[in-house]
Structures are given as structure tokens and as C-alpha cells.
Structure 1
Amino acid sequence: MDFVLVHGTTQSPAGWDRVAKLLAAAGHRTIAVDLLTPRELPVEGYAQHARDQYDGERPVVVAHSGAGVLLPAIAEALDARALVWVAAYIPDFAGGRSLRDEARSVLEPDWIGVDPTADPAKASEFLFHDCDPETERLALDSLRLFDPAVLAAHPAGAAPEIPSTVIVPTRDRTLRPDWLRRAARERLGVTAIEIDAGHCPQMSRPAEICGILTGSRR
């Protein structure tokens, strides 16, 4: 099976390295796309940018954090067989509100206004607090800002018809776990899978994420 891994707003594709290695060892093909471009694009532009980096058919598309805004469009562009939201914002498909409109409901209050890429201590506090020292070092090396205006301002379109899995880290300090549980149920019609992790379980719990992706843990 093919997996397309989509980084969030504060990490490069290297944030997926541990998960990608485990998936490859299990016989799966993976590509961690890079959304960073010389100029900002509309949502459809980022979807095409992801499409240009993938040469397979019908992957599972996995998105982290703010990349949830882009996940439906990327999934459509790649003709995805399934979507996985890892601590990822789920758009307001019915109401059409943007992430900016919902920020105070979605994000933990202490996270709003923080730029972890400019302050390693803040990154450790909010993103990597559940990592062991070696993992934290690797995680800090993966820091990179990707925050085009479209992520905050894009109004949600129609809900995807592709099957979704939502992963909720219960110790997330950036995106509110209670909000994500509710959004999974109300916006996608699924019950979230909860894991004991912070906002970046692809770093701190890669084997558990891999198990969920491959169906060995449901």
C-alpha cells in the first residue's frame, strides 16, 4: 500500500522519517511530500504540488496539524483511498468557517501566538514534551515554518466522501483534544482513535502511528 505523508506548519517532511521507515519495513511505499514553495499558492495549488511529487495510485493520505486544511484537496488530487488526520484540524464543512474563525475553540489558549521555530524551548514545551532526549533532538532538527495565509483563511468546502481515520493525542498542548474528538464525530462521522501522546506522535510514538495506519491497531 502507498502512504503519502503531509507535514504540518512547524515541521519539514523529516518529521515523518520514523513513521516512513517503519512503513517501509512492513512492505509499504511511502512519500513525505514537501509543501514549501517559493511563493504562496491557493489550496488547489498545494494539492497539485503534492500530486507532482507522487507517481503512484490511490494512496492513503496522512496529514498532521494545520495541513488538515489541505487534506481534502490533496486527497482528491491523488484519488486517495483513505484519509488519516493526525492531530490535524478538521475543517467546518457544514458551516464554512475557516481555521482563523475557529482558532479560539480549536487551539489551546497558551499556544496561540507562539512560533516554536523561533524558540526551541517553546517547541519542546508545546510540540515535543513527550519525547525522550534523542527523539527531542531529532524533532528540533525537523523544525521549519510553513504557514501560508491560506491555511488560516480558507473556508471549508464539502466534506470528503473518502473514509477517514482521526488520531487524537490526549496530551496535545496545541490543538485541543476535546475539540478534535467532537469534530471527528460531528464533521466526519467517525469515533477518534486516542493515543497517549503530545502534538507530534509521529515523532514520539511512531510505532503506534504505524500500527494504526496499517490496521494492526484500530
Structure 2
Amino acid sequence: MTTYVLIPGAGAGPWSWHLLADELRRRGRQVVAVDLPCEDDEAGLAEYADTVVRAVGDRRELVLVAHSFGGFTAPLVCDRLPVRLLVMLQALVPAPGETPGEWWADTGHAAARQAEDERGDWDPDDTTALFLHDTPPEVAAELLRRGREQSATPFQKPWPLAAWPAVPTRVLLARDDRFLPVDFMRRVVRERLGITPDEMPGDHCPMLGHPVELADRLEAYESAL
């Protein structure tokens, strides 16, 4: 049986996946929503990968779904477990030897954000407007209430892989994200993976705003293997 392994972004926990997880379970899938040690200043990317491996246990038929900063962890797991498919959901794509802290300048994120802010009519200092404008308000409020501290430790060491893992990879972008604008993400994905990404509606957290459509997309990817 397919097991979806859901890896959250920075400062997020398993709750960020709960709507998608419920939808996948209704379809008969196993789901592991990983609880990363994001508050732990002793934990870096290696410890994040260890946490995912422990959470998976002896499950197989694995589909990894990495959101946002989870994109730095998921490929490390692919090097250690028999992953059938890696789905990068609005996820940061690392380069060999790059620290997560360097990713923003290396990719030109600041200029992309500035251009996006200038095109819009929102307050870029409003967390909800920036990250969660397409999420139901009550869900967005609960996510922010459950927000966790994110240690800087995993941002400081270079990403250790010499190349992208030899695992089938799909990239799915949220076309309405204001934090990681879609034009910017298309370029990063093309330059770093040579992949033309797929796109769906949604802000930075499409698993909360569009869980049914996201489940449909994941199931289509899985069935095409």
C-alpha cells in the first residue's frame, strides 16, 4: 500500500497537513505527517532526515511530499529509503554545497519578492496576506496559532548531496503564492532540476486551501508510476 510521507516547512508541524492527510486516508492511503525537531538548536538537516526515517519505520511504497523548506530534507531521505516518488510542493530546491541560508541570495529571491509586492495591493508585512490569503480564514488563524519557533541551525551547514537523488521527481507549484512567486519558482526549478513544474491554485500552503485538488494531483502522480 502506498504511504505518503509529508514533510513540513520551517516552523510548521504535522497539523499543517491534516486536511490533506484526512483526504488521502479517505482514499485508502497510509499517511505519515512528520514532526520535525524545528525548535531544537542541536538539530540540523541530518537530524531532520533521521527524524523522517524513524517516522517511516518499516513502511514501504513511499511517496515523499516536501513543502517549502522541507525541500532541503526530502532528497536526503531519498538517499536512505526506497522512495518511489518525490513531490516538491512549492518547495525550495537546494544545490550541492549550498546552505539553506544562502539559498535566498543565490536564487535572487529578494528581487522576485520586491517585484511581486510592487504588483500587488497587499501589505507585505501581513503574515496572512503574504502566506495564507487563499486559505480559509479560520484555518489560517489556527495555523498561525500553532506556529512554532524555527531554529537557525539547519540553515547553516551545506546541503550534503553531490547530486539530486535518482528518484522520480515531480514539482508542483502554487501559482498564487506571494512569498515564493510562481515566475521565480519556475525559473529556479528549471535551472536546478531541468524540470517543467506543474501548477495548481493556492497560496504558500495549498494543502490547507486546496486539499482535495492536491490529493487528486498526488494520486495522479502515484498512479502514473
Normalised TM-score (structure 2): 0.81
Q: Which residue does 2:45 correspond to in 1?
A: 43
Q: Which residue does 2:54 correspond to in 1?
A: 52
- Show the 5 A alignment for 1:30-109: 30-36=31-37, 38-55=40-57, 56-93=59-96, 96-104=97-105, 105-106=108-109, 109=113
1:142 & 1:77 partners in 2: Cα distance? 31
Is the Cα–Cα contact under 8 Å of residues 168 and 180 in structure 1 kept in the other structure?
yes
Q: Which residue does 1:115 correspond to in 2?
A: none
Q: Which residue does 1:137 correspond to in 2?
A: 141
Could you report, residue by residue, the CA deviation over 1:4-45 in whole angstroms, capped at 9, with x for unpaired residues? 001110321100000000000011000101111644223222
Aligned length: 206
User: Which consecutive unaligned segments of at least 5 residues does structure 2 have?
Assistant: 115-124
Structure 2 vs 1, CA of residues 45 and 58 (structure 1 numbering), >3 Å: closer, same or farther?
Answer: farther
- Counterpart amino acid of residue 76 in structure 1: D
- Show the 5 A alignment for 1:132-171: 132-151=136-155, 153-155=157-159, 157=161, 158-171=163-176
Is the Cα–Cα contact under 8 Å of residues 58 and 78 in structure 1 kept in the other structure?
no
Aligned mate of 2:206, from 169, 180, 201? 201
Percent identity for Structure 1 against Structure 2: 28
2:156 & 2:175 partners in 1: Cα distance? 24
Structure 2 vs 1, CA of residues 50 and 63 (structure 1 numbering), >3 Å: closer, same or farther?
Answer: same
Structure 2 vs 1, CA of residues 160 and 194 (structure 1 numbering), >3 Å: closer, same or farther?
Answer: same
Note the C-alpha offset of 1:203. Answer: 0.8
- Counterpart amino acid of residue 26 in structure 1: R
Aligned mate of 1:173, from 172, 178, 187? 178
2:197 & 2:181 partners in 1: Cα distance? 13
2:149 & 2:204 partners in 1: Cα distance? 16
1:173 & 1:10 partners in 2: Cα distance? 18
1:146 & 1:98 partners in 2: Cα distance? 16
1:67 & 1:60 partners in 2: Cα distance? 14
Q: Which residue does 2:119 correspond to in 1?
A: none
- Counterpart amino acid of residue 22 in structure 1: E
1:71 & 1:152 partners in 2: Cα distance? 17
Q: Give the CA RMSD over aligned residues.
A: 2.3
Q: Which has the larger radius of gyration?
A: 2
